[in-house]
Amino acid sequence: MAKITSVSPLAPASFPELPVIGGVRFASAAAGVRYAGRTDVMLALLDPGSTMAGVFTRSATRSANVLDCQAKIGADSEAGAAIIVNSGNSNAFTGKAGDGSVAAICAAVAGATGLPETRVFTSSTGVIGERLPHDRITSKVGELVAALDPGKGAEAARAIMTTDTFPKGAGATVSLPGGAVKIAGFAKGSGMIAPDMATMLVYLFTDARISRTDLQALVSGINARTFNCITVDSDTSTSDTLLMGATGASGVDVTAEDTAFAEALEGVFLDLAHQVVKDGEGATKFVTVNVTGAASDADARTHALAIANSPLVKTAVAGEDPNWGRVVMAVGKSGAPADRDTLTIRFGDVLVAENGWVAPSYREEDGAALMKAPEITIGVDIGLGEGKATVWTCDLTHGYISINADYRS
């Protein structure tokens, strides 16, 4: 796997101080899954009475871990839950051996925690197509259980990194009529990012008391507006997993209709989603693509993703070139309805093109100056209707090639 030698220039100054969530504890360890001495396994243990929800990749080649989680996530239980994650090896495209690895890890965690195996959720991330040396993980389960601590979320976030240049965390505390509720989460992701469900690996926790069906409704809906609206390279992972646990430790009841809780949760989701894009492999620019005026919201999303995923658009952004012609190209090839003569294009607040041609007021130096910023907004109005969508992406630099050309070496 390519050695990461520098932190993304878009990285936050530091890992945030996450609120401690009652009813969940964390631990991490170095199991040597791929590299000796590297912290590469994390365990989260949720107390009895916790509810779980999740969303997963719809890839046709999804991993054994994803398939196992999908089979378990819809069940109700009062037994609590465990999440165990390794980095370095994705346990994907490993045939029946992959299923055996999941079973062995679940059995080890269940034996050490007293949980039923149906309440153990696993994730693996890293190289595809190599058998997971799961014995290295199972041998660490006892050590992990002994080290569990409510304040070790930051260490858990670091344990799941692969080509990430920084750990990603976000949290919130929201005041509700019944009292304060806390939310915290962490994610990993840097490349192979074009979620078709959720994204990469994401784990969120709250001390709210909420039913599984309400938690699932919130997770699915918010995910569609956040993680499913980011892209680094247009490639959907075999391992994309988002799991959320609600421990109920606060004693505060929440439903899917509680606006304040939903807004706070969406803020945490969006913060993590943006951090993933800002850590895009080789990224130097964070790009927001706003599409309005499409025939429908679905068409707007299609246009926005065509722009965000275009290598020509992304390399122009990397080169700080305000090349609106590439945006026009991306809209035209998207497959969604568009009309050359109704398009309006803006870079930030600079009007670039309108009525089928460059805007009379546009000056190249204005566009070039705007493209030097680390965060850029591309706005496109299709001029056909009321549909709108926002997608977040990054530029495409030689750093992406350097990382992925020798990913397995």
Catalytic positions, written as ranges: 199
Strands, E assignment, 239-385 = 241-246, 286-294, 344-347, 350-354, 357-358, 375-381
The 3-state DSSP class for residue 357 equals strand
HSE (side-chain half, CA atoms, 13 Å) at 184: 23
Q: Which residues contact 349 (CB under 8 A, 6 or more apart)?
A: none
CA 377, 382, 387, 390: dihedral to nearest 10 degrees?
Answer: -20
Identify whether the C-beta of residue 278 lies closer than 8 Å to the C-beta of residue 170.
Answer: no
How many CB atoms sit inside 10 A of residue 341's CB?
Answer: 9
73, two tokens: 């996530």
CA 395, 401, 407, 409: dihedral to nearest 10 degrees?
Answer: -150
Identify whether the C-beta of residue 43 lies closer than 8 Å to the C-beta of residue 73.
Answer: no
C-alpha distances out from residue 262 to 68, 204, 205, 222, Å: 28, 13, 14, 8
Beta bridge partners of 292: 381
Query: Angle CA(409)–CA(394)–CA(86) in degrees, nearest 5?
Result: 45
Cα-atom radius of gyration of the chain, to the nearest Å?
22
The one-letter code for the residue type at 207 is D
How many CB atoms sit inside 10 A of residue 96's CB?
Answer: 8
C-alpha distances out from residue 14 to 50, 138, 166, 170, Å: 30, 32, 9, 11
Identify whether the C-beta of residue 305 lies closer than 8 Å to the C-beta of residue 193.
Answer: no
